[in-house]
Amino acid sequence: MKIAVLIPSSTTHPQLGYDFYLSLQYALAQHDIVVEWMSASIGFGVDDVDMLAKAEDLLLNKGADLLVAFADYPKISKLFPLLEAVNKELVVVNMGAKLPLDWHPHPLVFHLSLQESLLAYVTGKTIYEEGSKQLVLASNYYEGGYAPCQLVVDAFMQEGGEVIYNFIPHSKGEAFSLEPLTTYLTESKNNLTIFASYSNPLTTVFWQQWSQQCFSQEHGLWGSSTFLMESLVNHRDVLIHNNQTSGFIAWDRALDNEENTLFLRVFEQKLNRVASCFAALGWDAGLLIAKALQDKQGNSSFSLIASMADLAGPIRLTRGEAIVDKDFLTLIAPVHQLSVIDKKIQYQTIAAMEMLSVWQDLKAQHPQPNQNGWFNTYLCS
C-alpha cells in the first residue's frame, strides 16, 4: 500500500502538518499495516498549480494508491481531473472552516475535518436556546474571512437572536487591544453574551487582556472550537477561573474513550511532547484507512469511499463514535460542549447522530454556500 500525503505549512501553528502526518503513520503502524509513505509540501494551500504538480508526481510517477491532502476548497478542486484520470481516491482533511461550492461531492473524494463550521452553527443555535437573545461578536480580520463567524451569526439570528455589537481588533498580537470592547461592556447595564473566535497568537493575547478585566466574570463568554481547544492546551489555568465560559469543541485530551487513550499514549511516548488536535485528526484519518483496508476483499481494489459508504454502524475515533454523511461523503463525529463550573471543566457529549441532524439543517439553510474571503486552508498562513 502506497499512501501519499500533501502536507501544509503554518507560521502560526508550525507543527500542524507534521503532527497530522506523523500521527497518521502511527495509527496505521498500530494496526500492523505496512505502508510505503511519500509526501510533499503544499505551503498554505493557495497555489493550486503547485498542488497539482505535487499530486501528479505522487500519483503518476510514484504510483501512490491513495492521496491524502490537508487542504481545502476551492483550491483542492484542481486535483479532481487527475483523480479521474488515474481512478484514485483523495481524502481531503482540514479544520472544517470552509464550506464547499455546493453539496454535490466528487465520487472519488472523501472529507474528514474537525468540523469548525458545524460547531459554529450549533453554537449559534445553542446560545439562543440557553437564553441569550443578544450577542456580541468578537473576531478579527483573519477569522472573519472563514465560514464559522458567519455561521454562528446565521444560526443565532435564524432562532430570533440579534447581534448588537461587532468587535474586530487589530490582527497582529502586538497591536491587539480589547478596547473599545471593554468600554462597551463596562458601560453596558446588562450582562451580555460574547462569542470569541480567535486562534494563535491572538488566543493568548485575548486571555491576557480579558482576565485583567473586572467584568470578566459578569458576561457569558462562548468560544469557537479552535479558540477553546487552544485555551485548553495553553491557558487552562486562566480558563478554569472564568466560570461563564462555554462552547463546543472537536477534541480534547481529556475525552475518555479507548481510541483517544491509545492515541495519546502512542503519540506522546514516541515524540515526548503533548499531543494536539491536528495529531488527533491524523490518527482518525489512519483509523478510516485501516478500516478500508480491513474491508478490502481479496484482489479487489482499495476503496476508502466504498468502505465508508457501506459502514453499517459507527466507527470509533479519538473523538468518540462517528458516522458518515453518505450524501456528501464526509465523516460526522460527536462534539463536546464545554462548561466551566466551580473552576472545573465539564463536558457534555452530543452524539454523532444528533450532529448529523444539525449538519443536514446547515446544508438545507445554505444550499449554495457563501465562499470565504481567504483561499488558504484555515490555520495555514
* Tens of pLDDT, residues 106-140: 999 999 999 999 999 999 999 999 999 999 999 99
The answer to whether residue 379 sits within a structural domain is no
pLDDT > 70? residue 216: no
Q: What is the pLDDT of residues 73-109, one digit of tens each?
A: 999 999 999 999 999 999 999 999 999 989 999 999 9
Q: Specify the pLDDT at position 204.
A: 94
Regarding whether 154 and 205 lie in a shared domain, the answer is yes
Beta-bridged to residue 39, according to DSSP, are 5
Q: What is the pLDDT of residues 142-176, one digit of tens each?
A: 999 999 999 999 999 999 999 999 999 887 878 89
Regarding whether 199 and 60 lie in a shared domain, the answer is no
Q: Specify the pLDDT at position 250.
A: 98
Question: For the residues of 237-271, what is the DSSP string, one character each?
Answer: HHHTT-TTEEEEES--TT--SHHHHHHHHHHHHHH
What DSSP state is assigned to residue 319? T
CATH code at 47? Answer: 3.40.50.2300
**In this structure, how many other beta carbons lie within 10 angstroms of the beta carbon of residue 377?**
30
The residue-averaged pLDDT of 219-246 equals 93
What domain range is 14 assigned to? 2-115+256-332
Q: Specify the pLDDT at position 119.
A: 98
The span from the CA of 8 to the CA of 41, in Å, is 6
The answer to whether residue 374 sits within a structural domain is no
- Higher model confidence: residue 172 or residue 65? 65
Say if strands 36-41 and 2-7 run parallel, antiparallel, or are unpaired: parallel
For residue 108 the three cell numbers come to: 472519488
Number of Cα atoms under 13 Å in the Cβ half of residue 344 = 3
Regarding whether 122 and 267 lie in a shared domain, the answer is no
The residue-averaged pLDDT of 204-229 equals 89
Q: Which range has the top average pLDDT, 13-27, 177-191, 212-226, 361-375? A: 13-27
Phi/psi at 111 (5° precision)? -115, 135
Q: H/E element holding 111?
A: strand 109-113
Task: Tell me how many domains the chain contains.
Answer: 2
How confident is the prediction for the chain on average, in pLDDT? Answer: 95
